[in-house]
Amino acid sequence: MTSRAELLLASGHWLLSAAPLRPQAKVEWRENGAAWLRPGALFAAAVIRAAVVHAAIGLNRPEVCAAPLADALEGGPMFYDAEGFGREGSYTALLPARVAQLPPMPGTVAHPQRGLLLVPAPDVIERVETGPWWVTPLDGPGLLCPPDRIAALASSGRDVLRSPEGRRDA
């Protein structure tokens, strides 16, 4: 049986493979809780406005969205950043790299392949003052969000926000 600490360590090593400078990224994770990684060969990333995720889940804070998001994403990794989308906040889902070759998912913004992405250290699983933190942490190397689940989440949230009730509550 694998412990949570072992999964975090393995996930961290796997994610660090996407760092332009692996030793520097390790130091940034240790000192800052987040490091710049480059999606591409290992994973793709989709960014979703916080309001869209909150509308889909029916909750309004990332701390309370964790369990419903983990269910909705089949345990796939997603992190929150309060600075995303101009202070509104955003969620970033890690997806299989092949998603970059698919048509865009409505309601999401695809992070540019090979563009730098600020990713929290695997053990940053609670809100931090600045920077991103995992709402649904990695469960192991290469275990990513199912693209159809991200598309459904974004679509559901957009539908709620477009409805008269959603606009009043949002």
Tens digits of residue pLDDT in 92-138: 999 999 887 666 777 788 888 888 999 999 999 999 888 999 999 99
pLDDT-derived band at 82, boundaries 50, 70, 90? very high
pLDDT at 170: 44
pLDDT digits (tens, 9 = 90+) for 95-107: 999 887 666 777 7
Of 9, 86, 15, nearest in space to 47 by CA: 86
**Higher pLDDT, residue 1 or 25:** 25
d(CA 25, CA 39): 14
**Section 143-165 average pLDDT:** 91
Mean pLDDT throughout 7-18? 91
Q: Is the pLDDT of residue 168 over 50?
A: no
| CB atoms near residue 55 (< 10 Å) | 24
Quick one: pLDDT at residue 102? 67
**Could you give the CA distance from residue 47 to residue 154 in angstroms, rounded to a whole number?**
10
Cα gap 81→62, rounded to integer Å = 10
The mean predicted confidence, pLDDT, of the chain is: 89
- The pLDDT-based confidence of 14 (bands split at 50, 70, 90) is very high
* CA distances, 70 to each of 35, 65, 134, 160, 164 (Å): 23, 8, 11, 20, 28
pTM above 0.85, yes or no: yes
Q: Tell me if residue 158 falls in helix, strand or coil.
A: helix
Tell me if 146 sits within 8 A of 74, measured CB to CB.
yes
